[in-house]
Structure 1
């Protein structure tokens, strides 16, 4: 493999500039390192949850103080989408963000548009926030963050979130000061003794039929503040914090 070590000055030649013989030698060496094992099975393996790794650039959605907002990762993966609908499957505990036309029923602007650029925006949705908190028995004083996955269903590109897979950021008072939100997440208790879902179950998590069990939620608030407070108050009262 003498050719593979050839340098130009202090720069080692990349594979694209190597002679064909050197490239072939490298490929043959790589192939010889691979062991064929037909007995391997995914049984017993778990797919480690993405929440356990740094994920600044992964698509995510946050629920916090009666507001929701997506991150830049969502916007970048749907670059031509300004208006969306939110769909919720209460039985499967999944939330879907679906592209929509501006004049489509229950569609809303999910980002700020300035100088031909788009940025995440916080969207107030007291009723929707309270309904999700009630469905999932969330503490409305905490911040909840969910990682999403991009899937294609038919001709549609969707972002799917598992409402049971949350990062929880506690908000607690300290020394009589105003409560502050923790920077360290707390994960669901059932995750303590597992790395993630079994492989087959993990595959099924991304199977979505948006016509089966999903409800489109209106996010825009057209009610008077007094009406909203009354409705969210009744929902929150049934929440077990």
Structure 2
């Protein structure tokens, strides 16, 4: 940008002088809530969608684990959390979550799982007529990169000519998790109640 152009932008501007009397305001974060990302557009964020007979991870999930074709799915029934853990194709209970591999570009795929889906729907008390979408967050356990999904933080979709989404009723009265609880809400310990799924 040329000097004349810069001068033009500042020609009618008022120069702000630093005022020593205007000190930075000290903020106490007590009472603040970290706003849930689900309240914003999130089509490009990592997510899992669960139907009554299948599940599917979007491409944003696959891109977080480049070249990974197989995962294990871990469930914590009490905390109602789901974790995906990259694994070797021949690892016990490994699931192929992507098409392609090797020299072929990876793409996402449906994982048919009537029994698994039924168990999740039963655990969560979900309506099998709807599908449920959860956003994921990166997590680390013992230096192992994982992806965490809170099953309680879902977006519900009613199938029809035009898909409509709904959020949980109890979200109406708050924006998100209190600041002092937010970091702890994403901490995980795989030895604390997580179970691996089988291939049903």
TM range (shorter): 0.7 to 0.9
* Count of matched residue positions in the alignment of Structure 1 and Structure 2: 187
1:73/1:147 Cα in 2 relative to 1: closer, same or farther (>3 Å)?
same
Partner of 1:120: 108
CA distance in 2, matches of 1:92, 1:36: 40
Query: Which residue of the other structure, out of 161, 167, 171, is the alignment partner of 1:191?
Result: 171
Instruction: Tell me, in whole angstroms, the C-alpha distance in 2 between the residues paired with 1:92 and 1:161.
Output: 11
TM-score by length of 2: 0.86
* Greater relative contact order, per chain length (Cα 8 Å cut-off, separation 6+): 2
Find the residue that maps to 1:166 and give its secondary structure. strand
- Verify the 8 A CA contact 2:52 2:121 in the aligned structure 1: no
Greater per-residue strand proportion: 2
CA RMSD of aligned residues (A): 2.2
TM-score of the pair, normalised by structure 1 = 0.72
Is the 1:61–1:68 contact (alpha carbons within 8 Å) kept by the matching residues of 2? yes
Which protein is richer in helix relative to its size?
A: 1
Aligned ranges for residues 57-206 of structure 1 at < 5 Å?
Answer: 57-113=44-100, 116-171=104-159, 180=160, 182-206=162-186
Deviation of the 1:193 alpha carbon: 1.0
Corresponding position of 2:2: 7
Cα deviations across residues 162-214 of structure 1 (Å, max 9, x unaligned)? 0000000123xxxxxxxx26522111110011111111222111101111110
Gaps of 5+ in 2: 7-16
Contact conserved, 1:170 with 1:181, CA < 8 A, in 2?
A: no
Deviation, structure 1 residue 7 = 1.2
